[in-house]
Amino acid sequence: MRSYSVRDVERVLQLSAGTTRGLIRAGFVSPGRGPKREYRFSFQDLIVLRAARGLIQAKVPRKRIRRSLESLRRELPVSMPLSGLAICAVGDRVVVREGDSRWQADSGQYLLGLDVSVHNGVLRMVEHPRAAAPLPAPQRDWFAEGLALEASDPRAAIDAYRQAAEADPDNSAAWINLGRLLHAQGATLEAEAVYGQALERVGPDPLLLFNQGVLLEDLGRTAAALAAYRSAITEDPELADGHYNLARLYESLGEPQQAIRHLGQYRRLMGSEGR
């Protein structure tokens, strides 16, 4: 069964890598892993990712999105049928039809109209705005603006990420990038407050905890940094950088057994990524 890479997601769905990772962290899809630990997406994953973005942009509540995506995944075939697919959503329901027939709704507002087909071996997804009732003007994508501004104007990128976090407080990627840039700009106390607020909002995200640990190290709060790194690898035992930083800190604290254990984990993980 064919699988798709992050690059395929960017090309076919027009989703940035950051947006894709955010949808994964939100639990909308659980992609597999390739031989180098890279994400590999199934056909079903691609459809669910595209539907998730459409429903989020339509400001459907997240609980309803989860229900509709669970329903969508149950209806989707494992691979692309020769007849193609038509996917539409009304209210909080997503409906799939195969073949040339198109699903029509008698009432309610469309949130997604999508044709999926294979042409010359290439998976194609085409959205049909004409099938949808008029929607509000597209919302400004603050997160994408932040990504574009990081290299040229970090302060503007910080403002964009702050707007993204305010617009969607569950967007862990926005919080992570906001805290990281504040730290890089020397606003360490503000970055610490951002990480604390983010963890309260989105829960123990491993990358948030890792970045918090890096910040606490720079603030000279070694015990707190150790706690953050330990929490990060508890959430994601394969977070290689977390094990490396723990090994380094334990060595500096004169705890060689702990240092050796985490360094071994780091080397094992990096070796598995390189195979």
pLDDT at 124: 53
User: CB-side exposure of 153: number of CA atoms within 13 Å?
Assistant: 9
As annotated, the residues of the chain forming the CATH 1.25.40.10 domain(s) are 142-274
Phi, psi angle pair for 118, to nearest 5°: -120, 130
Please write the tens of the pLDDT for every residue from 162-215: 999 999 898 888 999 999 999 999 999 999 999 999 999 989 999 999 999 999
Please write the tens of the pLDDT for every residue from 7-36: 777 766 666 777 777 778 777 778 888 877
Please write the tens of the pLDDT for every residue from 42-100: 877 877 777 777 666 666 666 666 766 666 666 565 554 444 545 555 444 555 554 44
DSSP-derived secondary structure letter, 11: H
Assigned architecture for domain 142-274: Alpha Horseshoe (1.25)
Burial of residue 208, with CB atoms counted within 10 A of its CB: 0-12 exposed, 13-18 middle, 19 or more buried: buried
Q: Which CATH number fits domain 6-131: 1.10.760, 2.60.120, 1.10.287, 1.10.1660?
A: 1.10.1660
Q: Does the global pTM surpass 0.75?
A: no
pLDDT at 135: 40
Q: How far is CA 25 from CA 131, 167, 187, in A?
A: 30, 17, 27
Residues 6 or more apart whose CB falls under 8 angstroms from that of 268 comprise none
